[in-house]
Amino acid sequence: MSNFEEAILCYKSRKFLETQKICENLLKKDPKNFELLNLIGATFLQLKLYSEAEISIKKSIQINPNHHALYNNLGVIYKEKKKFKDAIENFNKAIKLKPNYLGAYNNLGIVLTKVRNYKEAFIIYNKCLELDRRYLDTYNNLGILNLEIKNFDEALINFNKAIEINYKYLEAHENIANTYALRKKYSLAINYFEKLKKINNSKKFYYEINILFNQIRICDWKNFEKIIKKIKKNILNETITIPPLKLLYLIDEPKIIKDYIQNLDIETKFQKKNTFRINKKPNKKIILGYYSSDFREHAVSHLLTKILESHNKEEFQIIGFNFSKNPNDSYTKEIKKNCDKFLDVRTLSDEDIVILTKQLKVDLAIDLNGHTLNNRPDIFRHRAAPIQINYLGYPGTIGNYMDYIIADKTIIPEEDKKFYFEKIIYLPDTYQPYNPNQTIKFKNFNREKFNLPNSKFIYCCLNKMEKINPKIFNSWLKILKKTENTLLLLLDENLEAKNNLLKIISENKIDSSRIIFYAFTSYREHLERFHHCDIFLDTYPYSGHTTASEALSNGLPLLTIKGKSFQSRVSSSLLHNLGLDELIMENMADYEKFAIEIAQSSEKITKIKKKLILSIQNSNIFNAKIYTKNLEKAYKQVYERHKNSLIPEDTYIN
């Protein structure tokens, strides 16, 4: 066996560092061997060292500019770097050199799907099928394309065709399970992941985690504690990956959360010095860039709209960078109206957005996504602006490529700063902004509109179902058992969740009529329901955020448990700033005790409601203009600090 053949064998065995070592030794003897350079580039690609891979493949192309595979490999690198225009150009070069190059066609289809050129992607995949009707990846990628356009039935047909060709094609199996989840057919998704555990035992824990998250959506809590213990035990094991946002639903331990983020993202393991200076000739106004995939009907937009409207346009220029797939609803239009520029950058690569940000001379880049759906973290990893801020979209630390996180002293106490990569901007009241549109006023309250009895004391929790877990639900059952004449109002998100909760209620010998499920209809009706309830029972460890603000601003007291992490303290922050610390509990036992006592004392609930209404009138937290002025003070302080060549530091706004 030659040394080169040995290197190929190492590569196929995924021994990438060993492959590189052999190739580099061979390269000393034969520095113009394009195959060696190509293999080195391929190992860099597998190690996700894309810039190094690009350099190696380009050297290979200089030596042999007519080899089709090199352009395909360079296209894959650009695909991973989200430089989609360059990727398309190189795949087309590969196809020009080899007209029936199936792999390049398939990769081209993937990129066209990513840039949402769906019509052209379908044409390319049909070309793939002309070349080979049994090419697995084509059917799988056609399925992904159909998922993008929400053609779920066709997606399932494509994934199943791939499996018919090769039953062990795991990616297609996983895509089927995820398609069922997207269609809210959670039991089918669970069954499919159970099947996958038998097909591939090496990924058993990964499938168990996916089963858990689908079970949570339907309030099926079999093995809940067992899997969470397993997650905590293995959280820093690099072989498991859990979306950070989902992790926040499960645990309330900020050290574990930070360690996991650091372990998940290799780039956060190496502290990068910020050498990006504000121009010597500063802009006439401080330029703020807001970046989000949620400039639409979404909680982030509910909270952000009034800030954008209230910004001082004499001092600040506002630019919106939109990643949203559906940027045409009323919220998008309102946000557009209040931005000086609103840019649709969905089809741009991360690198192109960084270049555009610099061309526009953005001073502060504000990430409204964090670790949430359709985020674009590489924009910030590549340092888009002199100052980068984590704000509003994700309730926790993101990584050390962000300079600041916006919070308050309840959400991040001084002793907890060590659990955050970012320096803290402490706003004087609560970190969460307010939109007056989330408050409605009624002169006459009629429970009959919602088929609610006037004689009952009504607990409610209108947080989404995945925030409910067996511990908090068991607590609610205890409260119902120990009170008379009480009801619990919950959201009716899906039939499976409703049926599972009714089953648990029956097993606990509680009359099912004491739980009322309401489907979400209109936003106004959602807000109106708060006026017909007596107290909101918050979830834990992920408390109410926008929903908590909606409840309180509509005069409904909220009972919460103050946890240790950002996501568990948002309701506590709102209550503290309303002077309602008596509604903040330290543990589940106190939470249950208070909920029982308040249902038994009409005088106590009346007193708290009056106090809340008075607090709403006097507090700053429901004053969007005051909030925005404090936010602008923070922006100006961190801007001046950076302009004076000072490193980021905790910032306190009074």
DSSP-derived pairing of the beta strands 457-461 and 387-390: unpaired
Angle between helices 136-148 and 170-182 (to 10 degrees): 20
Q: What would you report as the CA-atom Rg of the chain, rounded to the nearest whole angstrom?
A: 27
440 pLDDT band, cuts 50/70/90, is confident
What pLDDT sits at residue 347? Answer: 77
pLDDT at 310: 95
Q: Give 351's pLDDT tier (boundaries 50, 70, 90).
A: confident
**pLDDT above 60 for 274:** no
Cβ-Cβ contacts under 8 Å for 148 (sequence gap 6 or more): 113, 116, 118
> What is the reported pLDDT for 268?
41
Strands 457-461 and 404-407: unpaired
Among 59-63, 567-571, 589-593, whose mean pLDDT is lowest? 59-63
Place of tokens 């970190």: 431
pLDDT at 533 over 60: yes
Encode pLDDT of 143-181 as tens digits: 999 998 889 999 999 999 999 999 889 999 999 999 999
**Do 621 and 434 contact (CB within 8 A), yes or no?**
yes
Least confident range of 63-77, 319-333, 383-397, 565-579: 319-333
Model confidence at 309: pLDDT above 90: yes
pLDDT in the model for residue 271 = 38
pLDDT above 70 as % of the chain:
96
User: Tokens at residue 207, please?
Assistant: 């499938």
437 confidence band (pLDDT: 50, 70, 90): confident
Lowest mean pLDDT among 159-173, 325-339, 374-388: 325-339
Q: How far, in Å, CA of 561 to CA of 550, rounded?
A: 18
Which residues, other chains included, contact 407 with Cβ-Cβ below 8 Å and sequence gap of 6+? 424, 425, 426, 427, 431, 566
Measuring CA to CA, which residue among 640, 638, 246 is closest to residue 405? Answer: 638
CA distance 558 to 551: 7
User: Any bridge partners for residue 460, and if so which?
Assistant: 489, 536
Is residue 263 within 8 Å of residue 339, measured between CB atoms? no
Kindly give the pairing relationship between strand 535-537 and strand 558-561: parallel
Instruction: Write out pLDDT tens, residues 220-273.
Output: 998 899 988 888 888 776 667 789 999 999 999 999 999 999 887 754 443 344
Confidence class of residue 37 from pLDDT cuts 50, 70 and 90?
A: confident
Mean pLDDT of the chain, nearest integer:
91
Distance CA 144, CA 134 (A): 17
Q: Which helix (H) or strand (E) holds 321?
A: strand 316-322
582-587: average pLDDT: 97
What confidence category does residue 515 fall into, taking pLDDT thresholds of 50, 70 and 90?
A: very high
Of 426-435, 443-452, 555-564, 634-643, which range is least confident? 443-452
DSSP, collapsed to helix, strand or coil, labels residue 457 as strand
- Range in 71-85, 86-100, 476-490 the model is least confident about: 71-85
What does DSSP say about strands 404-407 and 387-390: parallel, antiparallel, or unpaired?
Answer: parallel
- Host H or E run for residue 491: strand 486-491
Task: Give the Å distances, CA to CA, from 329 to 9, 340, 389.
Answer: 54, 19, 26
The CA-based angle 184-185-191, given to 5 degrees, is 135
Q: What is the pLDDT of residues 542-576, one digit of tens each?
A: 999 999 999 999 999 999 999 999 999 999 999 99
pLDDT tens readout for residues 627-645: 999 999 999 999 999 999 9
Please give the DSSP secondary-structure letter assigned to residue 133: T
pLDDT at 590 over 70: yes
pLDDT at 442: 62
Closest CA to 108 of 86, 133, 130: 86
Question: SS3 of 594, please?
Answer: helix
pLDDT of residue 18: 85
**The model's pTM:** 0.88
Q: How many whole angstroms separate alpha carbon 214 and alpha carbon 236? A: 23
Over 70: is that where the pLDDT of 275 sits? Answer: no
64 DSSP assignment: -
**Phi, psi (degrees; rounded to nearest 5) at 388:** -125, 130
What is the predicted pLDDT for the residue at 127?
A: 95
Q: Which residue has the higher pLDDT, 106 or 445?
A: 106
DSSP SS3 for 490 = strand
Token couple for 327: 């940027």
| 158 and 121 Cβ atoms separated by less than 8 Å | no
278 pLDDT band, cuts 50/70/90, is low
Distance separating the N- and C-terminal Cα atoms of the chain? 72
Is the pLDDT confidence value at 279 over 80? no
> Are 440 and 518 within 8 A, CB to CB?
no
Angle at which helix 50-63 crosses helix 34-46, to 10 degrees, equals 160
Domains and CATH numbers, the chain: 286-434+632-652 (3.40.50.11380), 438-618 (3.40.50.2000)
Averaged pLDDT, 22-39: 85
